[in-house]
Amino acid sequence: MRVFSGIQPTGIPHLGNYFGTLINWLKLQNEGHECFYSIVNQHAITVPQEPKLLSQNIIQMAATLLAVGIDPQKSTLFVQSDVPAHIQLAWILSCLAPMGQMERMIQYKEKAKSDNTANLGLFSYPVLQAADILIYKADTVPVGIDQAQHLELTRILAKKFNNQFKELFKEPQTLHTQTTKVVGLDGTAKMSKSKNNYISLVEDEDTIWKKLSVAATDPARIKKSDPGNPEICNIYSLHQLFSNQKDLDWVVDGCINAKIGCIDCKKQLFKNITDFLNPIRERYEALIQKPNEVRSALENGAKKANKVASTTLQEVYESIGFKY
Ligand code: TYM
């Protein structure tokens, strides 16, 4: 089975990225599937980026992906702009994309609402995403729930191309994790870099505690003696990702029966999160000292990706009449 997925280099990935999708990237890689994982820098510039920071972010993203377990011997890890066929196919797909469909893209509408300087790249972003996937003829795309509509468009564009020209593309399946959407520390929106409500995968212990200690909990629990409801508590939803059954039972009983305070609950969560993240941060810190090794992994990945992507592009060119 062939797998494709991408992540924007807009900072270190956070727990939302990890439980929403990276966990599946690792699972598919370790099951022996043919995986293409891309750091999608061309998507990142649909909002303004500081050039120096963007290039740092690319290396940091690559080092983090390696630190969580993406293995360049098993998976093809590369930077999107190193494989020009993505953009070349995106142009062709954009000539098939119905305007009405494009105007219904939720992420565009949300981003354009909060930023009146929205550009054409932001609008056509989902077409480039479709090209990322179709250029590899991927069967499966592991992503969080926020990407489901973009995947739907990808299948529509694949079908349209196949009907109009030649049966070339597969209609890729979306693969979500059990968690699908990790809520942010503020307890309201999804965990995201732009909302600053996240814990990154390489955060140090002090920062993690600073963030956790002020994170939202069940608002009914003002004093320790106030009983709470774990099901609506943001901290409990994080416990479910990091804690064993014994800890979960302790939290549920302690919260409902007001035996423990929110701070006790957070302390246990802090321990479980740091047990999990400390080894990732240590591997990241070692890798970031050797940026040339990271660059060389990305260059090798781009070579492998270019081979597959340029073959598909030639097939596309042939199908649409660009060969003369
Ligand atoms: P990006 O960079 O915003 O996020 C990368 C992946 O993390 C998932 N994710 C989450 N999942 C659960 N809970 C959260 N709080 C959370 N935050 C982020 C996202 O769903 C995503 O899977 N458009 C994509 C990148 C992309 C792509 C592609 C993905 C470009 N081309 C082709 C798949 C295939 C994006 O902006 O992801």
Rounded CA separation 282/289 (Å): 11
Tell me if residue 259 is catalytic: no
- Within 10 angstroms of residue 284's Cβ, the number of other Cβ atoms is 22
Q: Which residues pair with residue 5 across a beta bridge?
A: 37
Nearest to 15 by CA among 269, 200, 241, 146: 200
CATH number where 272 lies: 1.10.240.10
Active-site residue, 304 included: no
- Asked if residue 119 has its Cβ within 6 Å of ligand 1, the reply is no
Q: Are 55 and 119 within one domain? A: yes
Residues 103, 213, single domain; the answer is no
Contact call for residues 36 and 136 (beta carbons, < 8 A): yes
Q: What is the pLDDT of residue 249?
A: 96
How far apart CA 248 and CA 261 sit, in angstroms, is 15
- In this structure, the answer to whether residues 159 and 231 fall within a common structural domain is no
Range of the domain at 47: 2-181+291-320
Average pLDDT, whole number, for the chain?
95
Kindly report the number of other CB atoms within 10 A of residue 170's CB atom: 17
Q: Are residues 127 and 259 in the same domain?
A: no
**Same domain for 59 and 160:** yes
Asked if residue 107 has its Cβ within 6 Å of ligand 1, the reply is no
147 found inside a domain: yes
Identity at 209, one-letter amino acid code: W
Each residue's pLDDT tens digit, 285-312: 999 999 999 999 999 999 999 999 999 9
Domain annotation covers residue 296: yes
234 and 308 inside one domain: no
Identify whether residues 165 and 262 lie together within a single domain: no
**230 shares a domain with 125:** no
* pLDDT tens string 241-251: 999 999 999 99
At residue 278, the pLDDT reads: 98
> Does residue 160 share a domain with residue 33?
yes
Asked if residue 188 belongs to a domain, the reply is no
Rounded to two decimals, what is the model's pTM?
Answer: 0.95
Structural contact between residues 231 and 237, judged by C-beta atoms closer than 8 angstroms: no
Per the annotation, the verdict on 111 as an active-site residue is: yes
Is residue 198 assigned to a domain? no
> For residue 300, how many C-alpha atoms fall within 13 Å in the half-sphere facing its CB?
13
Q: Is 238's C-beta closer than 6 angstroms to any atom of ligand 1?
A: no
Task: Read off φ and ψ for residue 151, nearest 5 degrees.
Answer: -70, -35
Instruction: Give how many domains the chain has, as a whole number.
Output: 2
Ligand 1 atom at shortest distance from the alpha carbon of 14: 17
Please, which pLDDT band fits residue 109 given cuts at 50, 70 and 90?
A: confident
Instruction: Indicate if ligand 1 lies below 6 Å from the C-beta of 147.
Output: yes
225 lies in some domain: yes
